Chains A and B, each alone.
Chain A
Amino acid sequence: MEPLEEAALGLAPQTDFADLQAAAGRIREELRKRIIGQEAFIDLLLVAILADGHVLIEGVPGIAKTLTAKLLARTIDVGFNRIQFTPDLMPSDVLGTSVFHPGTATFQFKQGPIFSNIVLIDEINRAPAKTQASLFEVMEEQQITQDGVQYTMADPFIVLATQNPIEQEGTYRLPEAQLDRFLFKILVQYPSLEEEVAILGVHHNRPALQRDLEEIQPVLTAEKVSALRRQVQNVHVDAKVLEYIAQVVVQTRANKSLYLGASPRASLALLNSAKALAALRNRSFVTPEDVQELAPSVLRHRIQLTPEREMEGGTPDDVIKQIIQKTEVPR
């Protein structure tokens, strides 16, 4: 259902998202130069940027998780760092460490690769819990405390992390506290047959394409991202929709299939991302539709199935779907 303009409906227009629409369109265009398909995945990444959230991207190897994240980072003209997580990675390898400077006989803090605007953490679940825990403060508070000194991250600060499904060899389950800090967990699916044929066709004609990222042009600046985020904050959310969000999240805490329900941080994540999605669809208000659409990505990593449900072959997405079907849409 394509939204009509408010004026066309005979209603007074409220917010103009022309800028945001144009920026999102240009980012999509840039990504389409290299990525075939994965439209929903790209839209969720855009929502995350507008909602100021970190994203966990999960999928089997070889489905362009890392490539998409890298390309998205290139479309925004800000600092970009990539960290490859390995089993022997230490917290200081990520955050930085104090190094003794013989000239001045003082310790100087040497910033780690986390000090950037967009940080791509590749295969995040290859590092053990000790290293994962080092990300808690920076992901939530966008700051690092080292030797009693606080270092604030530059705005925007976005962590895009990729991971293979936990059943894969040599991976660790991420701590719940860390998972909760990701706005979305996006499950990247295999491309369809048509998309796969198109991928093969493109790479057959241009074999060097795999390595060449130069053709991707920056579309947004840091200031522009901040301005778009401010626009998103003005999206209207009716009290009925707020209550609907709360009902969906609260029901995860009472569901018999769940051992761990979603936190209030999940409610906030659902609210902020729904506002960004509404703006991305050129709407100045959030509908229950937005909430339903985003609920799986916001909640799937924040809930835990009971062992019995897990043994029955259930998935978090099944339970979320059931909760959504059960919760009455406010009308």
Chain B
Amino acid sequence: MPFKSVPVRFSLLFFLLLFWGGVVSRSAVASVPVPDTAAVAPLQLRYPDPQKLQELRESKDFQYGQDIRPDMSFWERFWRKIGDYLSQMLSGTSYDGFWKYVLYAIAIGTTVFVILKLLQVDFVGLFSRKSAAAAITYETYRENIHEIDFDALLAEAEAQGDYRRAIRLQYLRTLKLLTDQGLIDWKPGKTNRSYVSELKSSPLLRPFERVTQLFEYVWYGGSSLDEQTFETVRQSFREFHQSFAKTA
């Protein structure tokens, strides 16, 4: 019966290997050379350098029994003092002193604010780096059309032969008239075409379109203007004003 003979075979193989392994190991052990005790160097005891040891003993980094504060810079000492002062003030039983200092702080802050405001200092710039880049002057174009004395300035520009400026003033006056009548909503960021589209249902659309284009050719296009051309352009503005008078 083969299934019974299998364990017997394994047992025989196991003992055979065990016996053979023991023989091999014994022969291997027997072949290892015995060390010569006389050739081994004697043990040497080494000690740390006493000077170095003393240095380490005295170093404050290794004084575990003492609480030594780390070295602080000037600013760290300054802010620590402020912190100690505030915590002392706030942890006190009475807040009378605290409120007194708060009032002092508000008074000083208000004074500084008023002074800076009078000097027209950019406040945002004090606290932000970005604001420095934002300091752009817009004064060049910052004109309120409601505060311009058009008649005087127009007379001056024409007398000086500065026809481009005269056309500009004519156009600004046109915008003022339309704004005053509530026909357009004046905003500095709006373009001329925005105003044209606001007049879409008005009879003033065509005359306004024409003066707008004239203004743009002269003011943005750098068209040269002699007295005769200026007169032609001025005539267009007159026609607009006539149409405006009829509408009003």
Contacts and interface: CB of A to CB of B under 8 A. Distances in A.
B136 A247 contact: yes
A238 B219 contact: yes
A330 B141 contact: yes
Interface stretch (A1-9, A72-80, A93-101, A206-214): A1-9
A254 B221 contact: no
Interface stretch (A142-150, A279-287, A310-318): A279-287
A236 B222 CA distance: 8
B134 A254 contact: yes
Contacts of A286: 220
A204 interface: no
Given A11-B229, A253-B133, A238 B220 contact: yes
A1 B172 contact: no
In the complex, which of the residues A324, A330, A331 has the most CB atoms of chain B within 10 Å of its own CB atom? A331
A254 B133 contact: yes
Contacts of B229: 10-12
Contacts of B63: none
Nearest to A291: B191
B217 A9 contact: yes
Contacts, number: 96
A289 B192 contact: yes
A4 B210 contact: yes
A329 interface: yes
B110 interface: no
B240 to A, nearest CB: 14
A325 interface: yes
Interface string A1-33: 101101001111010000000000000000000
Chain A: interface size category: 35 or more
A39 interface: no
A250 B136 CA distance: 9
Interface in A280-329: 283-289, 292, 324-329
In the complex, which of the residues A253, A324, A329 has the most CB atoms of chain B within 10 Å of its own CB atom? A329
Nearest to A253: B133
Nearest to A330: B141
B223 A12 contact: yes
A105 to B, nearest CB: 58
Contact of B171 (A1, A9, A10, A331): A331
A103 B217 CA distance: 67
B62 to A, nearest CB: 47
A236 B221 contact: yes
14 contacts: A1-B196, A1-B212, A1-B213, A9-B210, A12-B223, A14-B221, A254-B133, A284-B221, A285-B217, A285-B220, A328-B189, A329-B141, A329-B190, A331-B172
Interface of A: 1, 3-4, 6, 9-12, 14, 236, 238, 240-241, 243, 247, 250-251, 253-254, 256, 283-289, 292, 324-331
Given A1-B209, A236-B221, 9 more contacts: A1-B213, A10-B229, A11-B218, A11-B229, A251-B134, A254-B130, A287-B191, A328-B138, A331-B175
